[in-house]
Amino acid sequence: MRMSILPFAILTCATACSWSDVKIAPAPSATASGTPSTPSAGDKVIDHTVKTIDGETVSLSSYRGKTLLIVNTASACGLTPQYEQLEQLQQKYAGRGFTVLGFPCNDFGGQEPGTADEIKTFCSSKYAVSFPLFEKVRALGDKSPLYRTLTEEIDPTLRGEIKWNFTKFLVDSNGHVVARFEPLVKPLDPQLTAQIEKLLPQ
């Protein structure tokens, strides 16, 4: 029954919320030596320790040097088919130092109710997901530390509460969040891929 009303719920929220917003952090200003300055707050994103969907503890600092797209995902959402394009991004850019990081979240409409094994099986069987998946996070209320940073501690132009599943944060190779893409911005949207291209070696 809940699934049957999802399209209406998505349309309503898309109208009420800025679900198609794209936010880009301002270019860093130059220091006295002429080199760009970078906000120290950005480093906090990859300083977090998280658990993979298999329960292994990893530090996001192990991804330093890579361009990352951090996404809060869900398996029973009208936007769940975005998994397909996320995997296409992974396949297209992985060889150039890019990876998607998927963080399942049940905070929005209870649309990620499954266990870690169920989520992993769903993503593998339905969308052949090869990018890293992690344990469920809280993005609202008592937030997981990573999502507290993403919503409260990064560049002020990119902060703010998560509106729904599949909000995307683009992180450069130094660990700074440089862009935010709201749920209706598809992973292969030219605005998103253009920002990825800017960060990757040519």
| Catalytic entry in 13, 17, 77, 123 | 77
Q: Is 105 a catalytic residue?
A: no
**Tokens 């862009």 belong to which residue?**
179
Q: How far apart are the C-alpha atoms of 67 and 187, rounded to whole Å?
A: 14
> Among residues 40, 94, 41, 92, which one has the least CA distance to residue 66?
94
Q: Is 72 left (phi over 0), alpha (psi -120 to 50) or beta?
A: beta
> Among residues 171, 157, 158, 40, which one has the least CA distance to residue 103?
171
**Token representation of residue 154:** 């990064």
Q: How far apart are the C-alpha atoms of 48 and 99, rounded to whole Å?
A: 17
- Cβ atoms within 10 A of the Cβ of 141, count? 6
Determine contact, residues 187/88, Cβ cutoff 8 Å: yes
Q: How many CA atoms lie within 13 A of 100 on its CB side?
A: 29
Q: Which residues are catalytic?
A: 77
